[in-house]
Amino acid sequence: MGRGRNRSKSKLDKKMIAQYSLDKLINILKQPQQYDERIVRSASSHYVKISKRNRMPLSAEAKLLICKKCTAPRLYGSNTRVRISSGQKITTCLECGDIRRIGGGPKSHRHQ
């Protein structure tokens, strides 16, 4: 093996490639009924791995589509339960039991 120059990609190139991959994966997660369940599960775990590896935060869409604890895709009706209680959306992952509360309820805007 030759010891030629190591032409590594710049940080910007790596970020752009990672963002492109994340966009492709989020498209799979948005339409899970078009793909096999294994592909959707793989896409969700790969999304989290790529975002961690490149120090990129999860997008707002991804936070709604992926369980933060077990990185399983949130397939509403099959592995996720959603309840609305006093203005707050409560999402429960049925695989790991993780509960996420979105919204502050009816009096969250009050400061006293």
pLDDT over 70, % of the chain = 88
Helix (H) or strand (E) holding 108: none
Which tokens in the block code for residue 66? 């992926």
Residue 29 placed within a domain: yes
Looking at residue 42, its pLDDT comes to 96
Structural domain range at position 82:
11-102
Range of lowest pLDDT (66-70, 82-86, 101-105): 101-105
Residue 111 placed within a domain: no
Q: Which residue has the tokens 């919204």?
A: 103
Residue 25 placed within a domain: yes
State how far the Cα of 99 lies from the Cα of 18, in Å rounded to an integer: 29
Residue 109 placed within a domain: no
Looking at residue 11, its pLDDT comes to 85
- What mean pLDDT comes out for the span 82-96? 92
Is the pLDDT assigned to residue 107 strictly greater than 90? no
